[in-house]
Amino acid sequence: MDQETKLDICPKCNSTHVKTYTLPYYVENLQGIRIGINDCVIKTACYLCKEEVISIPDINGLVSAAAVARIMHSTKLNGAEIKFLRKAIKLPSKDFAKIMGIRPETVSRWEGSGEQQIGYSEEKIFRILVGNKLKNELQEDDKAPAVEYDHMSIIKMAINPIRPSGNAPLLKFARVKMKLKNQKIQDLWDELESRAA
Ligand SMILES: [Zn+2]
């Protein structure tokens, strides 16, 4: 289904008594990554059965944009975020273990909520692996062209272990119009500002 199509009938009861509007701000937990979205999430509410449907445009693009924004953010990754990033680059956990020279059980522990956390150097290698895959490996396939990436800033990054609330940072996104080389103007996800939770 085209995510950007506005519904004019209720998906539950088929009533046409629906109201469709764009939410000024919406927070989504995208498989472990907290995302704030400005001005483009569409909500359809049914007057009859009270069903409410949330529709977010270009989810694949949002996953890639969120992944790149997250690796450029200095707060230490938690288990759910590591798993989110690994899935964003479609890397099976056994291949991840091989690349990192660790046992598959260690990947499970890193991605869990237990005590064993990824080490700082390993985390930087992982972040660069994600960034390289999404931004450089297939340039023409860059899924997050509006989000800035620079591997040197990850190498030099002082990863911040402090998580007062235990929460992952909230990353904020909006749709922006951009013209990429040899392409038409298109809507892309861009990060607005990020703040540590
Ligand atoms: Zn309905």
Interval 140-182: pLDDT, tens: 556 788 899 999 999 999 998 866 556 678 899 999 998 888 8
pLDDT at 168: 76
Q: How far is the CA of 48 from the centre of ligand 1 (A)?
A: 5
**Residue among 86, 189, 99, 176 nearest 144 (CA):** 189
Residues 114, 135 within the same domain: yes
165 conformational bin, left if phi > 0, alpha if psi -120 to 50, beta if neither: alpha
Is 69 part of any domain?
Answer: yes
For the record, the structure tokens of 74 come out as 């200095």
CA distances from 194 to 19, 74, 116, 118 (A): 32, 11, 27, 23
Residues 42, 70 within the same domain: no
Model confidence, pTM: 0.87
Residues 9, 69 within the same domain: no
Residues 50, 123 within the same domain: no
| Cβ(10)–Cβ(18) below 8 Å | yes
pLDDT at 70: 95
**Residue ranges with strand state E in 47-169:** 52-55
Residues 94, 160 within the same domain: yes
Q: How far is the CA of 54 from the centre of ligand 1 (A)?
A: 14
Q: How far is the CA of 115 from the centre of ligand 1 (A)?
A: 46
Residue 87's domain spans which residues? Answer: 60-164+174-191
| Cβ(97)–Cβ(48) below 8 Å | no
Q: How many domains does the chain have?
A: 2
Is 196 part of any domain?
Answer: no
| Cβ(133)–Cβ(165) below 8 Å | no
Q: How far is residue 40's CA from residue 97's CA, in Å, rounded to a whole number? A: 38
Residues 182, 86 within the same domain: yes
**Residue among 88, 67, 58, 63 nearest 188 (CA):** 58
**Residue among 70, 37, 32, 34 nearest 54 (CA):** 37
**Residues whose CB is less than 8 angstroms from the CB of residue 8 and which lie 6 or more positions away in sequence, other chains included:** 16, 18, 20
Q: How far is the CA of 11 from the centre of ligand 1 (A)?
A: 7
Residues 50, 74 within the same domain: no
pLDDT > 90 fraction of the chain, expressed in percent and rounded: 64
Q: How far is the CA of 7 from the centre of ligand 1 (A)?
A: 11
